[in-house]
Amino acid sequence: MSLFGLKFGKKKLKEEERQLQANNRDFNLQFEYANNSIKTSKYNFFTFLPLNLFEQFQRIANAYFLFLLILQLIPQISSLAWFTTVVPLVLVLAVSGVKDAIDDFNRHKSDKHVNNRPVQVLINGMLKDEKWMNVQVGDIIKLENNNFVTADLLLLSSSEPHSLTYIETAELDGETNLKVKQALTVTAELGEDLQKLTEFNGEVKCEAPNNKLDKFTGTLTLRGEKYALDNEKMLLRGCTIRNTEWCFGLVIYAGPDTKLMQNSGKTTFKRTSIDRLMNVLVLVIFAFLGLMCLILAIGNGIWEYDKGYYFQVYLPWAEGVSSASYSGFLMFWSYVIILNTVVPISLYVSVEIIRLGNSFYIDWDRKMYYPLNDTPAQARTTTLNEELGQIKYIFSDKTGTLTQNIMCFNKCSINGKSYGDVYDMSGQRIEINENTEKVDFSYNQLADPKFAFYDHSLVEAVKLGDVPTHRFFRLLSLCHTVMPEEKKEGNLVYQAQSPDEGALVTAARNFGFVFRARTPETITVVEMGETKVYKLLAILDFNNVRKRMSVIVRSPEGDLTLYCKGADTILYELLHSSCDSLKEETTEHLNEFAGEALRTLVVAYKNLDEDYFQDWIRRHHEASTALEGREEKLSELYEEIEKDLMLLGATAIEDKLQDGVPQTIETLAKANIKIWVLTGDKQETAMNIGYSCNLLHDDMEDVFIIEGHTSDDVLNELRNARKKMKPDSFLDSDEINIQFEKSSKNPKIIPDEQANGVYGLVITGHSLAYALEGNLEVELVRTACMCKVVICCRVTPLQKAQVVELVKKYKKAVTLAIGDGANDVSMIKTAHIGVGISGQEGMQAVLSSDFSFAQFRYLQRLLLVHGRWSYIRMCKFLKYFFYKNFAFTLVHFWYGFFSGFSAQTVYDEWFITLYNLVYTSLPVLGMSLFDQDVDDRWSMLFPQLYVPGQQNLYFNRMVFVKCMLQGIYSSLILFFIPYGAMYNTVRSDGKAIADYQSFALMAQTCLLIVVSVQIGLDTSYWTVVNQFFIWGSLSVYFAITFTMYSDGMYLIFTASFPFVGTARNTLSQPNVWLAIFLSITLCVLPVVGFRFLKAQLKPTPSDKVLLKIKEAKKRPPPPSPKRRLRRTSTRRSGYAFSHQHGFGALIMSGRNMRPKSPFATTGTFSPNSDKYKHKVL
């Protein structure tokens, strides 16, 4: 049963196998499969209060204050009113609760938006509009072009030939290239006939819900026949239907059972390392508090036994107290209440205010605002700011995060001449910017208006009819697997399997070789205004071994030609010997292109002999229909014909990075932050982007590639890599080996190991699956963390989260995950800090993130400026807060030895109430919200300043002990100097001032001035606000003190203000101010001396950088010129990285062809004809 959103009763059995029937809800309901409603929120209306309070009371301090409240309700031991604890405790819980409620409300809002999307469901023979959340397993639904896929569906039929359906999987794996799915022939016959679809009663048996995106096994039983089902027939939730008018699907998995949701990870309660440390420190303080109370309680028992018994008339025992030991017991709890200010509840209120304030700085930062789509940076969680200053590992998605996923034809080399650069009148190369004049393609009616090129000489070569140039662009217009779409005449849209291919075909289109249409047997190209139809005789398909593709075509003139494009390392081996000199020139150009991080490939052709080709095509047909060894036979035939090719040139495509990505990565690397790229893309793509971003570079000692297909292979590859980086790590004397030899079930933290150089690591998804297994994960962490850069390619969303979890498990480091798509949600949730980029892949990543912005480059400002400042401010705040409260509270402890351990307070009751609330709250908040050791410009120029945060140097257990000792020392000075100054002292007129009230006033005045001077020493950046808060707090103290200790207040509230006249009597004495000055000097002088000597004799790396900055400020450096980061590299990319193997065969079969476009007709096309003339304005 369900009560208030909580489920009780029989636990649901784990699903072993899924069984369902189409169009039979009654049958499917018996299995209690989840419906299509999703839930990413943590609470509902009824569970919010208990769950949120449970989470908040995980803070030990909150639980302690609750315990303190209970003590204050006992009259025998209570020395303070109960509301002094209740009000601040309720305030803290309420502030945190409201913030959590708002966060969860936004998650509910997002869930509601998704769950209420409309979809057409087949019910009782009719299509009805239903909400997504009402869709159930076994339902048949209709999707249309550009619809999101509602659930995990078995594709039944579609509008395309042979029931093909084109989908985009950007939210699953980050890839925007189209993928093809195909229905079973037996279900394809259903078409869109609602009667047939309603009568369809197929039964599906398949695997239980899981997170494997690339795998599905099952069977469909229909009319007694069984049909095998695999992943090629599945449409997964998170995909988008493209170029398909309609399709029907059978719901297999719904809601939380879908593969997308199985990969999304759980919403966890994130807490910072400082939060966790504070929990430990609060326990230490409790122990210290207990020890002090125990000492004072024992002291009270002894004093009452020895002396107090004889003072019963003057100091009577409380009612019910019959012995000294019982008095000591009660006094223990009284002192617990009095000394509780060592952990004041205002600490947590202040922490929340500081975090909130620093979050607003992120929201308001104009330098993180992206005007193009009006997106400001946003701190979606206000509790993790200081963690941003401690990041050691960044886990980044590639597509949409580092790159824009836009391919641009940038440069090319044709017949030994390089095109693409722009030169001025003196022959000097000039940098291309938005003001550079673009090539005018208006002469070509079919040109793509979005295409930009700047080198006018290439257009001139085309117009002059240069043969090699024409042949080059003819090859680009013919040798590909792109599908054209022309719904309106002249308005061409290319659907490419790979973004690279789309860029190349678009370039050929603009330079006058327009790929217009294709059939299984022909390719129609408009060449310089003339429409030509080429016969397509064969496509020699791409695969990862060949790294090239070729087409064999017959021109309208009857010439047989093979056109080939591919990776230079492969094609150079296939060239005719007559191309040697051209090869050298082209190689120089390729090196230049690669130096600019462009993706390159080489193009070549070969004229074929008719007789030879007829013989070859016959053997090709035999090989393609062979039952055994088909792939090997075809490969041999491809090798045979792709020989003695004639080199035409090379192309260079820019995979556009987001602005400032290389500079950001370079800066973060200087801050000792390690970057891991986790991407669903192929290895070649990922590595190429690694070089483009300056993650990988040729100066590295080595880049290890882990691609083993068995557990042993992966282990050996990892060990070989580690052996090269640090041979000593295999010795028995190695501390990590010794640590892991000791048997313990708890995971060990692996300390950082230094490699003997700079290395990179690339690991593929299938190898990573083995490496994440229990016995290999330590090896993976040790090897990967020695490398400067790690790239994981072909990884699933869940693997991304597992990699992050692995580093969290074995490394004492703070992690950050950044991504922009639904496939990044799980790692964003898993990392200590999740950052979402509001990009082109939807808002799922942003909704699950802790911080969000529009561009990757803003990450350096988020970490190096806001993160670092937040961390330093929080550390300074905690150090000062613990110091001032130890100094304040321990004076009570020393006073106990002089007051018969009677739990009498040193200070006036009003001072105790207002000390943390009024007198010291604003100065520390001012420092914690405005302080900065250096401004944002220097923080970015010197990323090394970030390192102390990673090592947690500014606030740790040792720093806390120092604060504690400083507080104890100050409390001794603040008690004994006023005590000594007051002891047997008389005023100048002979009247005594050695009374309790004068001593209390002097002690509290000393304390307040000392802590005010201390915060002045701690402040690095003075503002009007800081000055106002510090001087204002002191002024308020004296104003309140003189007012409360006045005759008038005493007459009005006699019981509440007994310190009548104390202020004017005591503070008018010179010896009192001399004692105050002495106290301040003795408290502050050791601190100043220690800081000075430490900076001179043992400066930290941070001190050295700050000294450099101080010197640089005296002579400000000239502004650094903007430069484009370039790299020199001999590495060049392979071809068509996201190209799908087997797509060539699909084209040749014609199964994916639509009816022929009415515009793709043979004949002559002339841009100057009346039909295509346009007005010149």
- DSSP assignment of 841-876 equals TBSHHHHT-SEEES-TTHHHHIIIIIIHHHHHHHHH
Q: Cβ(1079)–Cβ(1006) under 8 Å?
A: yes
Radius of gyration of the chain (CA): 38
Residue 397 annotated to the active site: yes
Which residues neighbour 148 within 8 Å (Cβ) at sequence distance 6 or greater? 117, 237, 238, 239, 240
Q: Which of 476, 436, 433 is nearest to 456 (CA)?
A: 436
Residues constituting the chain: 1177
CA distance 1084 to 568: 71
797 by DSSP, 3-state: which?
helix
Helix (H) or strand (E) holding 910: helix 909-914
CA distance 532 to 513: 10
Residue 370: DSSP 8-state: B
Pairing label, strands 403-414, 833-837: unpaired
Instruction: For residue 87, count other CB atoms closer than 10 A to its CB.
Output: 11
Question: Which listed residue (100, 365, 397, 655) is catalytic?
Answer: 397
Helix (H) or strand (E) holding 530: strand 530-540
Q: Tell me which amino acid residue 647 is.
A: L
CA distance 993 to 984: 8
Which residues neighbour 496 within 8 Å (Cβ) at sequence distance 6 or greater? 177, 178, 480, 481, 482, 483, 502, 505
Distance of CA 306 to the CA centre of its chain: 66
Q: Which of 129, 172, 183, 175 is nearest to 149 (CA)?
A: 172
Evaluated on CA atoms 452, 456, 459, 461, the torsion sign reads: negative
- DSSP assignment of 1014-1054 equals HHHHH-SS--HHHHHHHHHHHHHHHHHHHHHTSHHHHHHST
Pairing label, strands 491-495, 403-414: unpaired
Pairing label, strands 789-793, 674-678: parallel
CA distance 31 to 24: 12
CA distance 395 to 606: 46
504 by DSSP, 3-state: which?
helix
Q: Cβ(826)–Cβ(264) under 8 Å?
A: yes
Give the residues across from 483 on adjacent strands.
495
Half-sphere exposure for 30 (CA within 13 Å, toward CB): 6
Which residues neighbour 165 within 8 Å (Cβ) at sequence distance 6 or greater? 155, 158, 180, 181, 182, 183, 235, 241, 244, 247
What does the block give as tokens for 663?
Answer: 């500079």
CA distance 657 to 402: 6
- DSSP assignment of 117-138 equals -EEEEEETTEEEEEEGGG--TT
Instruction: For residue 956, count other CB atoms closer than 10 A to its CB.
Output: 15
Catalytic positions, written as ranges: 397
